[in-house]
Amino acid sequence: MRSIDDLDVSGQRVLVRADLNVPMSSGEISDDGRIRASVPTLTALADRGARVVVMAHLGRPKGKIVPELSLAPVATRLSELLQRPVEFSPALTGPDVQAAVSALDDGGILLLENVRFDPRETSKDRERRQRLAADLASLADAYVSDGFGVVHREQASVTDVAQLLPNAAGRLVESESRVFNRLISDPDRPYAVVLGGAKVSDKLGVIGNLLSRVDRILVGGGMCFTFLAAAGHPVGDSLLEADQVETVRQVLADAADRGVEVVLPVDIVVAREFSPDAEKATVAADAIEAGWMGMDIGPQTIELFAEKLADARTVVWNGPMGVFEMPAFAAGTQAIAEALADTSSFTVIGGGDSAAAIRAFGIADDRYSHVSTGGGASLEFLEGKQLPGLAVLEDH
Ligand code: ADP
Ligand code: MG
């Protein structure tokens, strides 16, 4: 992988794929961590006189123009963080964007509108993607991959365009790759992974592959109910992916064979409904009744998890332990965040919501070894998979 230092960028047009997919609530950016993470590469390129054209996506517009998913507010915040002007192009392709790029001075920065507004970006049809990639490549002389959160995707702005221009990895992709390479090649043991969050089926797939790499898996968050169900316990009205129960049973059997410890919650904070001021109670994890839904791990589970993490020398955490957005159900996530902030082990936080949770609790990023910007990408890296957005940088 080449770095941006290997590219001669002065006076050149450089197309950068960044990950600016920040959480928004009512038009406001609620956590700008990913925008901040894009600053080092953009600053380095602009300082060296590149004419920087930034591509990124926001949310899942599914190939249509969705005004609420415009990157315009991100351009404003990016400009504040970079402390330099950032132009915004509502067009992705065509004469208007060509003109906007031509108007850039050395060191100038232009952010293009949400690349997923174009249906070709995420098309499964390679030729369609390549047509968008050709349009995008025509805007630049070189390509820089800096969107770590999307390097596991085969998409026009990630893989196809990288093949059409001289390419390099940006600072973020370099530093993330360094951390995850260390985790798969040479982790200090015991090595524990803490998994939570809502995207149950997304993460179930990776667990099977993690079994051959880690010593201990702690499961909380919405996904723990599929595990509790697989262990034969009732889960009431909690989040459950019934079609995954069998897979999880297999995972539990595999784990037992391999001597990997799977630690499940022993108590759960349950609520009558999914709302911040719902009636709540703490119950044993094997006795959640109908009419109640699991919202957070309970106090005994917090203690158990903290104990299981205390002697770990490597810890990867992906996914909140509960519905941390509601203060009544944030205790589990906060306790784990604090326990990890205070260890001397190698601690890596992955997942957009997990990183946002840490910042919401006011815990500084630098109290962990690494806070990743990539959720899915970091998990696939941990599985030992080859990530297409990185592979394309190696062989070009
Ligand atoms: P990450 O972005 O860190 O990978 P996910 O996107 O998988 O995490 O999941 C984050 C979401 O999971 C949060 O919005 C949180 O409210 C939700 N969540 C956590 N625990 C539960 C639960 N018990 N029931 C429902 N949702 C949950
Ligand atoms: Mg998420």
The pLDDT profile of the chain, 396 residues, written as one tens digit per residue, is 999 999 999 999 999 999 999 999 888 999 899 999 999 999 999 999 999 999 999 999 999 999 999 999 999 999 999 999 999 999 999 999 999 999 999 999 999 999 999 999 999 999 999 999 999 999 999 999 999 999 999 999 999 999 999 999 999 999 999 999 999 988 999 999 999 998 778 787 778 888 989 999 999 999 999 999 999 999 999 999 999 999 999 999 999 999 999 999 999 999 999 999 999 999 999 999 999 999 999 999 999 999 999 999 999 999 999 999 999 999 999 999 999 997 899 999 998 889 989 999 999 999 999 999 998 899 899 888 899 999 999 765
Closest residue by Cα to atom 19, ligand 1, is 322
Three-state SS at 204: helix
Ligand 1: which residue has its CA nearest to atom 21? 222
C-alpha angle 59-61-63 in degrees, rounded to nearest 5 = 135
Token readout for 195 is: 């998994």
Amino acid at 169: A
- Helix (H), strand (E) counts: the chain: 14, 17
- Indicate which atom in ligand 1 lies nearest the CA of residue 238: 24
Looking at residue 203, what is its pLDDT? 83
> From the alpha carbon of 294, which atom of ligand 1 is closest?
23
Q: Which of 353, 359, 361, 371 to mutate to test the pocket of ligand 1 (most atoms within 8 A of CB)?
A: 353
Task: Report pLDDT digits (tens) over 237-247.
Answer: 999 999 999 99
Q: What are the φ/ψ torsions at residue 369 (nearest 5 degrees)?
A: -65, -35
CA 297 to chain centre: 22
CA of 381 to the centre of ligand 1 (A): 21
Nearest-CA residue for atom 24 of ligand 1: 222
Query: Which residue's C-alpha comes closest to atom 5 of ligand 1?
Result: 197
First vs last Cα of the chain: how many Å apart?
Answer: 9
Positions marked catalytic: 34, 199, 352, 376
Ligand 1 surroundings by CB, under 6 angstroms: 196-199, 221-222, 239, 294-295, 318-320, 322-323, 325, 351-354, 375
- Whole-number Å distance, alpha carbon 352 to ligand 1 midpoint, is 10
Residue 208: C-alpha distances to residues 212, 218, 220, 347 (Å): 8, 14, 17, 21
Q: What is the pLDDT of residues 118-171, one digit of tens each?
A: 999 999 999 999 999 999 999 999 999 999 999 999 999 999 999 999 999 999
Count CB-CB contacts under 10 A for residue 186: 8
Q: Which residues pair with 194 in a beta bridge?
A: 218, 317
Of the candidates 161, 160, 131, the one whose C-alpha atom is nearest the C-alpha of residue 143 is 161
d(CA 308, CA 228): 19
pTM of the model: 0.90
Q: Are strands 13-17 and 51-55 parallel, antiparallel or unpaired?
A: parallel
Report CA(148)–ligand 2 centroid distance (Å): 15
- Spacing, Cα 71 to ligand 2 middle (Å): 19
Residue 77 Cα to ligand 2 middle (Å)? 21
CA 396 – CA 384 distance, rounded (Å): 21
For atom 1 of ligand 1, the residue with the nearest CA is 351
Q: Which residues have CB under 8 Å from 107's CB, separation 6+?
A: 46, 47, 49, 50, 51, 84
d(CA 85, CA 91) in angstroms, rounded, equals 18
Tell which atom from ligand 1 comes closest to the C-alpha of 224: 23
Nearest to 223 by CA among 322, 130, 124: 322
Q: Mean pLDDT, the chain, as a whole number?
A: 95
Taking the CA of 320 as reference, the closest ligand is: 1
What residues are paired with 269 via a beta bridge? 282, 296
Query: Residue 222 Cα, ligand 1 centroid: separation in angstroms?
Result: 6
- Quote the CA–CA distance of 101 and 139 in Å, as a whole number: 7
Q: Which atom of ligand 1 is nearest to the CA of 221?
A: 20
CB contact set of 308 (below 8 Å; sequence gap of 6+): 192, 216, 218, 261, 263
Ligand lying closest to the C-alpha of residue 357: 1
